[in-house]
Amino acid sequence: MASPRKPIAQDNVEPLDPATQALCEQVSKLRKKRGWSLGELSMACAVSRSMLSQIEHAKVNPTLAVAHRIAQAFGVSLGQMLDAFHATANIEVIRADDRTYHYRSDRHCRIRTLSPLHLEKDVEFYEVSLKLKGALRSAAHFQGTREFITVQQGHIRITSGKEITELGPGDSAHYNADIKHTLENFGKDQATAFLVVIYEK
């Protein structure tokens, strides 16, 4: 049996950015407002009690997936959880190393959202990095959804339904995303692109 995980040493904890700090504070406020214990919140969002405790005390930077599950447990959006901070912020910054905005990261690709999480929007903006021979395969999105892509580095093959095209650095394309679609790195190095998803109003 694995030994229990040791608590994170406090001396090496870096301060969180203001937006993440506000998110952590909102978790604690919403939990107490509901009269929930950490255990009850843990059951509702499938996040461990120890992780929730560290989030509430601003000792860890929760990933986008974790923050989303917590928001769902409270029946609110991430935007609503961050409204208290962004109501007074004039300039919103998304740092390159902020893992809160890492939507996905695995051996095939990394997706980093560049859209402010608190906005209720019809447009989403992402940076997509596909590793060598990596692919991002997506099921059909909502009816009328389109994607716009610009390749910054490498070569990407797009499949949308039965149509296929290939892009190189600086090339752009847009395609239907309300059908099955795939982005594939068919080059010899990592490929990076900026992806805009537009939902039909």
CA 44, 48, 54, 57: dihedral to nearest 10 degrees? 20
Q: Which DSSP state fits 46?
A: T
- Cβ neighbors of 161 (< 8 A, separation 6 or more) are 176, 179, 180, 181
Kindly report the pTM of this predicted structure.
Answer: 0.58
Cross-strand bridge partners of residue 104: 111
CA proximity to 77, closest of 124, 120, 20 = 120
Q: Give the span between the Cα atoms of 130 and 182, in whole angstroms.
A: 12
Instruction: With H, G, I as helix, E, B as strand and everything else as coil, classify residue 131.
Output: coil
Q: Which residue has the tokens 């929760």?
A: 62
**How many angstroms separate the CA atoms of 119 and 77, rounded?**
9
**Distinct helix (H) and strand (E) counts, the chain:** 5, 10
| 9: number of Cβ within 10 Å | 7
How far apart are alpha carbons 199 and 7 in whole angstroms? 43
Mean pLDDT per block of 10 residues along the chain (201 residues) reads 38 60 85 89 92 89 86 82 61 74 82 73 88 93 93 97 96 96 96 92 68
> Whats the size of the chain, residue-wise?
201
pLDDT in tens, 94-115: 777 777 777 777 888 989 888 7
Which amino acid belongs to residue 160?
A: S
Domains of the chain and CATH, by start: 13-86 (1.10.260.40), 122-198 (2.60.120.10)
Residue 195 is predicted with a pLDDT of: 96
pLDDT, position 106: 82
